[in-house]
Structure 1
Amino acid sequence: MRVHLISDNVDTLVGMRLAGIAGVVIHQRDAVLRELKQVMEDETIGILIVTEKIMALAREEIMDIKLKENRPLVVEIPDRHGPTRGSDYITRYIKESIGIKI
């Protein structure tokens, strides 16, 4: 199984390439949707890494893949500027998901 990156940032792509991960840099929603379609058609891709900004461009489509498809595993990462979500993101996520305050 291969890992594929869809990034909005060249620096993120270069760093991933150093780790042996191929990918693309995209800035428009329609290009993200085309790339997602190609990833879904490629049976050799087992993990898809997307940056937060890419997730924001195609949140609904990426969430459909995460929730409804068996492959690939989708992982969202921050770009080189750090996370855009607040520092309490995980706590808020748990609270929103299951209603438990931590």
Structure 2
Amino acid sequence: MKVFLERKRTNISAQGEFDPITKTLTVFKGSTLSESIAYTEKFRGAATIEKHRAGIVENNVLLKDVVFKSASTAANFVTGSSTNGLTAWKTSDGKAIRDLVKAEKAEA
């Protein structure tokens, strides 16, 4: 399913595809990522994000599709800070991944 992560204040505008079966999320080429990465004691993923962005991000724009093992890892990569991907990524009608996953479990 197509998902989006938007933050107007920081000019983040990312598009991706969430696979509910494998729980992977692909962030699409052309997505605009955060300008900065949060280096705080609480957020230990900053160095990993910086390393992962090297060579594939230019002027905050993603140059190729990148697959992540979870929605939260993808959200951290996009926002540059600790982010709950299940609530941050939304469909075009504004539904969060978490709500869609809950609905699927209820139907099963």
Which range, TM-score by smaller chain? under 0.3
TM-score by length of 1: 0.25
More helix by share: 1
Of structures 1 and 2, the larger Rg is shown by: 1
TM-score by length of 2: 0.24
